Structure 1
Amino acid sequence: MTDAILLVGHGTRNPQGTAQFLRLSELLRASVAPLPLEVGFIELQEPTIETALVNLSQRGLRQILLSPALLFAAGHAKQDIPAAVERAKSVQPDLQVTMAEPLGCHKALIELAALRFLGSLSPIHRAEDRGEGPASQQDPAPSPIQPVDPAKTALVLIGRGSSDPAAIEHCREFAALLGEKVGAAGVYTGFIAVAKPSLPEVLEQAAAAGFERIVVQPHLLFSGEMLETTTAAVSHARQTHPRVEWRQAGILGSDLLATNGLAAQHLIQALLERLEIDDR
């Protein structure tokens, strides 16, 4: 029997990304009540996973279901989180921790990513919609989404990158599923770190293919340095290839802080199903 849930985030120095993650934790806490839910971070922020698990155990909550708010099973899910769990068990040997699967190619994430892709085609696509920060109070409401012309539009999905081949393959699989759902004529996958092609390389590849419109979609849950890097690369691509209509789609959790945003329903559905808990 599960005593509590630990939602694990990567951790970031970006205040917007932190607020988005904590908002997600609030929504998940409401969905799993009366089960207690706490949060822990892999790096950069407190409490660490180890600290959070020890604190739960000291409260008499020893059967823990760990929910990683991660997109794919790479080094963090396969190495860092298990290592943190073992450290916690060395302090509290009676801890029993079961880890759910990362979000991966869950259907709710595909649907949410498709909505982000389509939203990027609105004539008015604000920084707030992309997850880059609050929009000006003078920004008008987004205009209706324009139809996609599959023959002229390419999708470039940008992942964090990893040295884990399985994680890279899963990212490519996600890109293929998303491209099929939105009807993109070309589908490319690039990475910000470690894996190839790199972010600049994949943008050059897509531009050279002759598409009139390229939607660059950072496959990220929350705001942070990776999003800033992608935004800078897209800005450079606009200057280098002005004939292309460059669009940048929003990150998955871009509207978590908004009322009735798209992210809440889809991300909570995916997390609950990975936890194998019905929404209450």
Structure 2
Amino acid sequence: MKTGIILISHGSKLSSGNDGLFKVADMLRAMNRWDLVEAAFLQLAEPGFDEVVKKTVETGVDRIVVVPLLLFKGNHVYKDIPEMLENEKAKYPQVEFVYANNIGADERIALIAADRIHEVLIEKQYGSKQRLEQPQAIVDESFEIIDNLVDLES
């Protein structure tokens, strides 16, 4: 069975706000686990959901898995996307449509949040975190801290 994946997100008027969805689609494509991975937006950006479904169906898929990349359940997850799915099912009865869960409250999200907190606190404490990504910079920073501690004890 040939399966296509459609990631769907809200969309933004700012193109930079939409880049993340395309990057996630690229990451999933790189896994080589599905026949096709596409990105679509609910509003404010292109491509729209119906356009991406049409394109995906034209590749000959038998099944489309729709994955809402929305953090929490709201109108889009409960109402808008299911209504859009019903419209697409009527247009393409030969294709099985599967609606995946949204991201939701997941321990992996908490871990990402913890990483972001750690990053910003390191950056605030030491200045640019880019310095700390270089091994020699880490050594230099360590000696600077030790020197400051020795000066305090003198």
Determine if the TM-score, normalized by the shorter chain, exceeds 0.5.
yes
CA deviation after TM superposition for structure 1 residue 140, in Å: 3.9
Report the Cα offset of residue 99 of structure 1.
1.1
Question: What is the RMSD of the two structures over their aligned residues, measured on CA atoms?
Answer: 2.2
Does 2:47 align with 1:47?
Answer: yes
Equivalent position SS for 1:122: helix
Give the AA of the match of 1:92: Y
Paired position in structure 2 for 1:88: 88
Q: Which moved more, 1:64-73 or 1:82-91?
A: 82-91
Structure with the greater alpha carbon radius of gyration: 2
Alpha-carbon shift at residue 87 of structure 1 (Å) = 1.7
Which residue does the alignment assign to 1:141?
Answer: 129
Q: Runs of 5+ in structure 1 lacking a partner? A: 126-138, 145-280
Q: 1:11–1:41: 8 Å Cα contact kept in structure 2?
A: yes
Within 2, Cα distance between the matches of 1:77 and 1:86?
A: 13
The two structures have a TM-score, normalised by structure 2, of 0.74
| Cα offsets for 1:35-82 (capped at 9, x unmatched) | 211111111122211221122222211311111111012111111111
Q: SS at the partner of 2:86?
A: helix
- Aligned counterpart, 1:117: 117
Would you say the 8 A contact 1:67–1:99 is kept in 2? yes
From the superposition, tell whether residues 48 and 15 of structure 1 become closer, same or farther in structure 2 (CA, over 3 Å): closer
**TM norm structure 1:** 0.43
Q: How does 1:138-177 map to 2 (within 5 A)?
A: 140-142=128-130
1:56 aligns to what? 56
Q: Secondary structure at the match of 2:124?
A: coil
Q: Work out whether 1:66 is the aligned partner of 2:66.
A: yes
Please say if residues 62 and 96 of structure 2, whose CA atoms lie closer than 8 Å, have aligned partners that are also in contact.
Answer: yes
Shift, 1:83, TM fit: 1.2
Question: Aligned partners of 1:36, 1:63: CA distance in 2, in Å?
Answer: 11
Unmatched 5+ stretches in structure 2: 133-154
**Bigger proportion of residues as helix:** 2
